[in-house]
Structure 1
Amino acid sequence: MSDSAISAEFKLSGKANWYNAGVAIVFDKNANKLVDLTDFNKVTVTLKCSLTNSLYFGLSAHDEKVTQENIPITYRSSGVFINCDTEWREVVVNLDSLEVAPWWLHKFGLKASDNKLYMDKIIRAYLETTYGSPRDVDSMVSISRISFSGQRYNVLVNFFAFASLIWIALAIWTIKFYSSAKQNISEVEQPLSYEQLTFNSVRERDRQAIIDYIAKNFSNPEIDNESVSKAVGVSRTKVNEILKSEYGSTFTNHINKLRVIEASRLLAEKSDAHITEIAYLVGFKNISYFNKLFKEEFGLTPKEVRGKGTQI
């Protein structure tokens, strides 16, 4: 098997703000040609990789309303996280279960229900490291084959002879990759409920609007004071004042608290979901930062909470 594999050794730089390494797979000499994969319902990836790494396998599709050529973040994308093993293993991905992440739909102003991947307009497949992968550590990935299968076809991609395969270390795509694996986790439910209030003043109306908007959007990694103030129609100062008055907290601290509370629930309820997946799903971009805040909030690491099997 290793005779027909492609391998890469790499080190993710600790000096870069955004970093990843990956392999892009195109289906035609014309890298921007779209292919129809609707006849396929499964893809099997045979690989091995350093235990310290975690990988993400995904598909990118063209969206006529959003996609801009050669700007990867504008593609509809979905995929699954893969735990690494130094022995050869097969990872099976159910293509029928892939859905576009809620944060991507929100970013481009699309409805949450519009989460199909558009399997008839696939532009590339990709396999890359995640933010859970360590920096400044020697790493290795070897890929033997990728097999797409369905009711009518079975296609084996042999990487030894596949000329369109390119490994690019240190940011194959220069984007912030905020993946949200939806294969095993349902969309985040809101961890807090709020009483219905009678608005007797403008302040009460603003208060409720701010609280409701944050409760519905805290898992969006792009949320910040500016986006909340624009969405609600108040100043950034007003947002800070409301949060300080209601929770005695800054904007950032309040968002982080909501995220770790929701993460604790998902860790207990979604035993088949990886900790890295949960961190990304609730809005964290950095797994180390998530672990740090989680430990500060609960006195336990996410792994320890997962072992308990109950929500804190």
Structure 2
Amino acid sequence: MEDWSLVSYHDQESTLHYEQSPSSIDAEFTLSSAAKQPNAGVALHIEKGIDGFANLSDFSTATISLKCSFGNTLYFGLSFHDVKVTQRHNPLTYRSAGVFIDCDTEWRDISVKLDSLEIPVWWLHMFGYKASENKYDLNKVIRVYLESSYDSPLDVSSKFYVSNISFSGQRDGVLPAFAFFAALIWLVCGAWTIKKYSGQKSREQEIKQELKYEQLTLNPARERDKQLIIDYISKNFADPDIDNSSVCKAVGVSRTRVNEVLKTEYGATFTNYINKLRLVEASRLLTEKPEAQITEIAYIVGFKNISYFNKLFKEQFGSTPKEVRGRRASQ
């Protein structure tokens, strides 16, 4: 029998309050524009199980029953143990994969295929993986989570409700490890790499989980377009001349399609997404190449203007490249 605990947290400026009943969790949150990277939410963590992981390999589909106080785009995902980088109490090091889902004002059952989740490219690059090394192991699940996208509003009190998250698949029946799962919500604005630099608070509560079945219908052509766009950008973001037009030409899609994929998947414009990939790579190189000049690293990741690189780096991580390197050198 696997035991799970509900952990909630939020950044210092944002708020999250929720009430749990036998049938749902009713939550109210406000993401603050005063926060560098607003975030608030809860996650369902495995506490006991084989080697401390949940085994969901016998299940092919997750179904989430939820509604919001107004239309919103959320992100559902699973976090997995990565044998090379995962540190148990450092969520940034979890290999996480997920998918964006729509939350409406009426109750909906939303189904997600567990073999169609995507690992963010920035995470792979941060830990030295290639974009093609995007597999995950369903028998080593650390937690289940639901998070907001960049579309979530700031400085507005928002409500959400979850009545059930269930898993279904190859077995005929429910996963016996869970008796009943009242609800799960995690609302986070920003990428995992930003969370490393954000203050967080947490509280825990034991909950259980009921499991049911449903299927996600995908458009294969659009999924192929999306993967081609993401793969091309992940391999070529360090090219200082990369732009929307060059991606369109290389992949064979329209500018509108490129913008749509980046907005839907990452809540970012083309320029913002490229810059984030470059900054994450620069952060990695600052650690792995102590002999390289900061100017050299800026050029390696694709920046032509050093002042612009320094400005964006500080906005992203709260410190200049020089300050980051100085701290790491003194450790």
**Length-normalised TM-score, structure 2:** 0.55
Q: Against the structure 1 CA distance between its residues 117 and 157, is the aligned structure 2 distance closer, same or farther, given a 3 Å change threshold?
A: farther
Q: Against the structure 1 CA distance between its residues 69 and 278, is the aligned structure 2 distance closer, same or farther, given a 3 Å change threshold?
A: closer
Offset at 1:187?
3.6
Offset at 1:13?
0.7
Offset at 1:49?
1.1
Q: For the residues of structure 2 that align with 1:64 and 1:171, how far apart are their CA atoms?
A: 27
Provide Cα deviations, 1:246-276, integer angstroms capped at 9, x if missing partner: xxxxx6xx66x449965983643898x6843
Checking the alignment, whether the CA contact within 8 Å between 1:144 and 1:158 is kept in structure 2 is: no
Please point out which of 70, 78, 86 is paired with 1:51: 70
Offset at 1:51?
2.5
2:46 partner amino acid:
F
Equivalence for 1:290: none
* 1:265 is aligned to 2:254: yes
* 1:131 is aligned to 2:150: yes
Q: Against the structure 1 CA distance between its residues 117 and 50, is the aligned structure 2 distance closer, same or farther, given a 3 Å change threshold?
A: farther
Where 1:112 maps in the other structure, the secondary structure is: coil
Alignment size in residue pairs: 221
Q: For the residues of structure 1 that align with 2:180 and 2:255, how far apart are their CA atoms?
A: 38
Where 2:79 maps in the other structure, the secondary structure is: strand
Please point out which of 146, 154, 158 is paired with 2:174: 154
Q: Against the structure 1 CA distance between its residues 280 and 77, is the aligned structure 2 distance closer, same or farther, given a 3 Å change threshold?
A: farther
Checking the alignment, whether the CA contact within 8 Å between 2:263 and 2:269 is kept in structure 1 is: no
1:43 partner amino acid:
A
* 1:277 is aligned to 2:295: no
Equivalence for 1:176: 194
Q: Against the structure 1 CA distance between its residues 170 and 216, is the aligned structure 2 distance closer, same or farther, given a 3 Å change threshold?
A: closer
Q: For the residues of structure 1 that align with 2:245 and 2:77, how far apart are their CA atoms?
A: 25
Q: For the residues of structure 2 that align with 1:268 and 1:168, how far apart are their CA atoms?
A: 29
Offset at 1:78?
0.8
Task: Output aligned runs, 1:10-49, within 5 Å.
Answer: 10-28=29-47, 33-49=52-68
Equivalence for 2:94: 75
Offset at 1:81?
0.7
With 275-284 and 21-30 compared, the bigger mean Cα shift is at 275-284
Q: Against the structure 1 CA distance between its residues 53 and 157, is the aligned structure 2 distance closer, same or farther, given a 3 Å change threshold?
A: farther
Where 1:59 maps in the other structure, the secondary structure is: strand
Where 1:277 maps in the other structure, the secondary structure is: helix
Checking the alignment, whether the CA contact within 8 Å between 1:6 and 1:143 is kept in structure 2 is: yes
Q: For the residues of structure 2 that align with 1:57 and 1:86, how far apart are their CA atoms?
A: 18
Q: Percent identity?
A: 44
Give the unaligned 5+ runs of structure 1. 192-213, 229-250, 287-312
* 1:112 is aligned to 2:101: no
Larger Rg: 1
Checking the alignment, whether the CA contact within 8 Å between 1:58 and 1:125 is kept in structure 2 is: yes
2:229 partner amino acid:
V
Task: Output aligned runs, 1:140-219, within 5 Å.
Answer: 140-152=159-171, 153-155=173-175, 158-160=180-182, 175-176=193-194, 184=223, 185-188=226-229, 216-218=235-237
Offset at 1:278?
5.9
Offset at 1:283?
6.8
Provide Cα deviations, 1:146-192, integer angstroms capped at 9, x if missing partner: 010111142477444x7xx6x67777997526xxxx9942142688x
